Amino acid sequence: MPSDLDPRLLRSFAAVADELHFTRAAARLYVAQQALSRDIRRLERETGRELFVRTTRHVALTDEGARLLPHARRVLAAYDELGAAVAVSGGDGRPLLFDVGASVGTAYTVLEEARRAEPDRDFAARFHSGLTGAAADLLAGRLDVSAGRVAGLAPGVLGRLDHRTVRYERMAVLIADDHPLAVRDEVPLDALAGETLYAGAGNPATAEWTDLAARLFAGRGIEMAAPYPEIDGPEEFVRVVRRRGWSVLASTDFIDVPGMVLRPIVDPVPLAPVSLVWRRGLRHPGLEVLLRTAGQLAARRGWLVRPPGSWLPAADLALLAA
With respect to residue 188, please indicate whether it lies within any of the assigned structural domains.
yes
Q: For residue 281, how many other CB atoms are within 10 A of its CB?
A: 16
Give the Cα separation of 116 and 110 in Å (integer).
10
Q: What is the CA radius of gyration of the chain?
A: 22
Is 2 part of any domain?
A: no
Q: Indicate whether 160 and 291 sit together in one domain.
A: yes
20-35 tens-digit pLDDT? 999 888 877 778 889 8
**Residue 242: enclosing H or E segment and its boundaries?**
helix 234-244
DSSP state of 171: E
SS3 15: helix
Do 176 and 243 fall within a single domain? yes
Same domain, 151 and 295: yes
Same domain, 76 and 122: no
pLDDT value at 2 more than 70: no
Residues 6+ positions from 46 with CB-CB distance below 8 Å: 2, 5, 9
The reported pLDDT for the residue numbered 5 is 80
Do residues 272 and 251 lie in contact, with contact meaning Cβ atoms separated by under 8 Å? yes
Q: How far apart are CA 11 and CA 72, in angstroms?
A: 8
Contacts of 263 by beta carbon, 8 Å cutoff, 6+ apart: 172, 173, 175, 181, 182, 184, 185, 186, 187
Residue 1 within a domain: no
In this predicted structure, what is the pLDDT of residue 107?
97
Position 91 scores a pLDDT of 44
Domain CATH number, residue 313 = 3.40.190.10
Q: Would you place residue 11 in the very low, low, confident or very high pLDDT band (cuts 50, 70, 90)?
A: confident
The tally of domains found in the chain comes to 3
* Domain end residue (candidates: 71, 87, 103): 87
Q: Which amino acid type is present at position 118? A: E
Q: How confident is residue 175, by pLDDT bands cut at 50, 70 and 90?
A: very high
Q: Do the domain assignments include residue 175?
A: yes
Cβ contact 197:249 at 8 Å: yes
Q: Does 177 map to a domain?
A: yes
56-110, pLDDT tens digit by residue?
Answer: 788 999 999 999 999 888 888 777 666 655 554 434 568 999 999 999 999 999 9
Domain span including residue 37:
7-87
CATH number, residue 32: 1.10.10.10
- Residue 322 is predicted with a pLDDT of 74
Query: Do 182 and 251 lie in a common domain?
Result: yes
What confidence score (pLDDT) does residue 89 get?
44
Tell me the C-alpha distance between 66 and 53, whole Å. Answer: 12
Q: Is residue 7's pLDDT more than 80? A: yes
Whether residue 277 sits in one domain with residue 260: no
Percent of the chain predicted with pLDDT > 90: 71
In a domain, 237, yes or no: yes
List, for residues 240-273, the tens digit of each pLDDT value.
999 999 999 999 999 999 999 999 999 999 999 9
**Where is 37: in which H helix or E strand?**
helix 33-47
Q: What is the mean pLDDT of the chain?
A: 91
Instruction: Judge if 133 and 76 occupy the same domain.
Output: no
- Is residue 283 situated within a structural domain? yes
How far is 92 from 94, CA to CA, in rounded Å? 6
**Listed residues 56, 87, 118: the one ending a domain:** 87
| Statement to judge: residues 83 and 97 lie in one domain | no
Confidence of residue 281 (pLDDT cuts 50, 70, 90): confident
- Do the strands 196-198 and 247-251 form a parallel or antiparallel pair, or are they unpaired? parallel
* 84 φ/ψ angles, rounded to the nearest 5 degrees: -65, -40
Q: Could you tell me if 190 and 156 lie in one domain?
A: no
Highest average pLDDT, of 59-63, 170-174, 313-317, comes from: 170-174
Mark whether 197 and 256 lie in a shared domain.
yes
What whole-number distance in Å separates Cα of residue 246 and Cα of residue 248? Answer: 6
Same domain, 106 and 64: no
Residue 54 is assigned to a structural domain of this protein? yes
Mean pLDDT of 138-156: 91
The reply to whether 17 and 69 lie within a common domain is yes
pLDDT band at 222 (very low <50, low <70, confident <90, very high): very high
Could you say which of 250, 266, 282 is where a domain stops?
266
Q: What number is the average pLDDT over the span 43-66?
A: 91
Amino acid 215: pLDDT = 97
pLDDT number for residue 90: 39
